[in-house]
Amino acid sequence: MLQRWQQELAAGQEPMSDQAFYRLVRRHGRLAGEDEARSVTRQVFASLAAGLDERLVGRLVRCLPPTPAADLDHHRRLGPAAPDTGLDRELFIGPLVNAMDTVGRYDETLGGMDLVTAYLDDDAAMRTQAVFVAVKACCGAALVADLHEALPPEIADWFREARRS
Amino acid sequence: MGVERRAKKGEANGLTVRAFHSPVRPTWCPGCGDFGILSALKKAFVELERHPHEIMIVSGIGCGSKLPDYIHANGFMTIHGRPLAVATGIALANPDLELLVVNGDGDAYGIGGNHFLHTCRRNIKLTHIVENNQIYALTKGQYSPTSDQGFQTTTSPDGAPEQPINPTHVAFAAGATFIARTFAGDPNHMVATFVAGMRHPGYALIDVLQPCVTFNKVNTYDWYRERLAYMDADDGYDPRDRVQAGEIVQEWGQRIPVGILYRNDEIPTYSERVPALKHGPPARIALPHLEVATFDELKGAFV
């Protein structure tokens, strides 16, 4: 069943702007600003482009506001020709965690850096879902269903549960 | 020649990645490239119809060297830099095992650099998977032999002063007979490369570009993706052509070649050239004259 905002969109509302898209990502991902929202979006798109069929990615590109669309299209060109069937949760969040703050201060014992990555699992999931909220806000119900169907199982769960608050 | 397979094709039917699942939960960081390598390795074993008891994985010290704990197969975690030396002994003693060495760039090319060179020229029958994240990660972020010049870490605050090792070039110069590179963010390509390496009748080096999500913020998933050149997709490239390969194995930087970069299946393995093994490896030699008392006496000498 379509949610109210999806019905409004389907009824011919104005396409979403870049700012509105990143505002959604920022709010749901509890991010500091638009720059961070764009960075998070780019990383999630890198994984989407690797794990989804090129035509499906193309359909998604056409639904997105200009800047996110250009970023996803960029990753579509870099990604494999066929969806990578080995993509799982860890590989999906890899690019995102790679771009997060993962170390703290100098470690006091071994001369290395204190790592905080161990605690970032939930953060990565929340940020991924924040992008999914914005993506779903741009797509019609048919594309949402197709994306859900095509994503690896655990990522599909995150996608299904990503809801606008 | 090469590994003799105990399992006939039909006996391996029904083998799935589940057979390789270990109850031990990986302690790698979320999103670590090592997860992809582990997963691809299991799939490669299934594709080759290799059962857990037929496999031996030898590792050293480091994040990636924890892999034998996370897979249901025989494992041997050695000291830092020494897995190739231990694996050489295993290869000579029991060539029926599907033998792999899995370690990081520090273990393989730094601490174990000497063993790396000599394993290449000896052509020991094993598959060497190097999880190359261009940093020492388990010790929390120091520059490694493959870190690019200028790379800033806790031990190189002004940037790494020296030139990095290019492992594919070193392996080529040292006489390796199979040299490949793949990317931890590309699972399907990894599986195909691992399978090809294990099928190679000799030493197979597979250098895996493996982003360290925590300590390496330069060589990221994005950084690699923008530079990868898939040689398998290049019809004009023949990895058996030593002249072509000699150029490709040196490339690093704006363009990073991945795929099988060089192969020569004609070179005999070390085991085939050692006279002491002409009657077969120790694991296949029966000991008909060894009485229990003699065996106990022998055993006693080591206790």
Q: Report, as an integer, the average pLDDT of B166-178.
A: 98
Query: Which residues from B are below 8 Å from A112, CB to CB?
Result: 139-142, 154
What proportion of chain B, given as a percentage, has pLDDT over 70? 96
Q: Report, as an integer, the average pLDDT of B60-69.
A: 97
The C-alpha angle with vertex A42 and arms to A41 and A48, in degrees rounded to 5, equals: 85
What's the pLDDT score for residue A114?
A: 76
Are A86 and B43 inside 8 Å of each other by CB?
A: yes
The answer on pLDDT for B109 being more than 60 is: yes
What's the pLDDT score for residue B273?
A: 94
- The least confident of B4-18, B30-44, B91-105, B209-223 is B4-18
Q: Report, as an integer, the average pLDDT of A57-75.
A: 96
The answer on pLDDT for A1 being more than 80 is: no
The answer on pLDDT for B256 being more than 50 is: yes
What's the pLDDT score for residue B128?
A: 98
The answer on pLDDT for B8 being more than 50 is: no
What's the pLDDT score for residue B177?
A: 98
What's the whole-number average pLDDT of chain B?
Answer: 93
What's the pLDDT score for residue A8?
A: 45
At A53, is the secondary structure helix, strand, or coil? Answer: coil
Q: How confident is the model at residue B291 (pLDDT cuts 50, 70, 90)?
A: confident
The answer on pLDDT for A104 being more than 70 is: yes
The answer on pLDDT for B297 being more than 70 is: yes
The answer on pLDDT for A30 being more than 50 is: yes
What proportion of chain A, given as a percentage, has pLDDT over 90? 67
Are B225 and A78 inside 8 Å of each other by CB?
A: yes
Residue B302: left if φ>0, alpha if ψ -120 to 50, beta else—which one?
Answer: alpha
Closest listed residue to residue B238, CA positions, set B246, B226, B227, B250: B246
What's the pLDDT score for residue B88?
A: 98
The answer on pLDDT for B86 being more than 60 is: yes
Backbone φ and ψ for A60, nearest 5 degrees, come out as: -65, -40
The C-alpha angle with vertex B256 and arms to B255 and B260, in degrees rounded to 5, equals: 135
Chain B residues at the A interface, defined by Cβ less than 8 Å, are 29-33, 35-36, 39-40, 43, 139-142, 154-155, 184-191, 211, 213-215, 217, 220-222, 225-226
User: pLDDT for B115-149, tens place per residue?
Assistant: 999 999 999 999 999 999 999 999 888 999 999 99
Q: Determine the distance in angstroms separating the CA of B142 from the nearest CA of chain A, rounded to an integer.
A: 7
**Contact present, B114 and B122 (Cβ < 8 Å):** no
User: pLDDT for B154-165, tens place per residue?
Assistant: 889 999 999 999
The answer on pLDDT for B9 being more than 60 is: no
3-state helix, strand, coil split of chain A in percent (to 5) is 65, 5, 30
Q: Report, as an integer, the average pLDDT of A26-54.
A: 95
The C-alpha angle with vertex B208 and arms to A80 and B262, in degrees rounded to 5, equals: 90
Instruction: Provide the terminal-to-terminal Cα distance of chain A, rounded to the nearest Å.
Output: 17
Are B139 and A112 inside 8 Å of each other by CB?
A: yes
The answer on pLDDT for A105 being more than 60 is: yes
What's the pLDDT score for residue B72?
A: 97
Decide which of B218 and B10 is more confident. B218
The answer on pLDDT for A165 being more than 50 is: yes
The answer on pLDDT for A80 being more than 80 is: no
Q: How confident is the model at residue A14 (pLDDT cuts 50, 70, 90)?
A: low
Interface with chain B: mutation pick from A45, A90, A121, A155, highest number of B CBs within 10 Å: A90
Are B31 and A124 inside 8 Å of each other by CB?
A: yes
- The least confident of A91-105, B101-115, B173-187, B208-222 is A91-105
The answer on pLDDT for B2 being more than 90 is: no
Whether A53 has its CB under 8 Å from any CB of chain B: the answer is no
What's the pLDDT score for residue B3?
A: 33
What's the pLDDT score for residue A112?
A: 73
Decide which of B10 and B179 is more confident. B179
At A104, is the secondary structure helix, strand, or coil? Answer: strand
Tokens 């949610």 belong to: A3
Interface predicted TM-score (ipTM) over 0.95: no
